Amino acid sequence: MFGRLKRSGFYTKGNVNIDFEKSKTEACVVKKLVINGVSIQLFEIGRMIDAEPNKAAAGGCGNRVFAPKNNLLKDPIYLKKFNLDKKDYSDLISLLHEILDIGYCKRCR
């Protein structure tokens, strides 16, 4: 997971380009997310969740990951919004996970 420690960057996979910036104090807070030139808020396409809360330290997360909204990004309207087609969906989700998945973290608000 190369996104874990990166606070900002520009990543490309196939036809998908993502420019992002995370909070300087909280790695799971996304301040800027641009997919193929279209600025979007993370909550529009998914959210960050603790997939393994039973492994978390007090005040932390056991496995903080990006959880896309159920098939939302497969919707032709969203694909068109980002100038993508169905074959780009797996690249988009893969790249979002690489950038946003944090894993174990002992720091939360």
Please write the tens of the pLDDT for every residue from 67-98: 998 877 778 888 889 999 888 888 999 999 99
Between 23 and 73, name the one with better pLDDT.
23
Please write the tens of the pLDDT for every residue from 48-69: 999 999 988 888 889 999 999 8
Cβ 50 vs Cβ 62: under 8 Å:
yes
Distance in angstroms (rounded) separating the CA atoms of residues 31 and 21: 5
Please report, rounded to a whole number, the percentage of residues in the chain having pLDDT higher than 90.
51
Distance in angstroms (rounded) separating the CA atoms of residues 64 and 78: 25
Cβ 80 vs Cβ 98: under 8 Å:
no
- pTM comes to 0.85
Q: Per-domain residue ranges for the chain?
A: 8-105
Confidence at residue 5, expressed as pLDDT on a 0 to 100 scale: 59
Q: For residue 90, give the DSSP letter.
A: H
- 80: amino acid identity, one letter: K
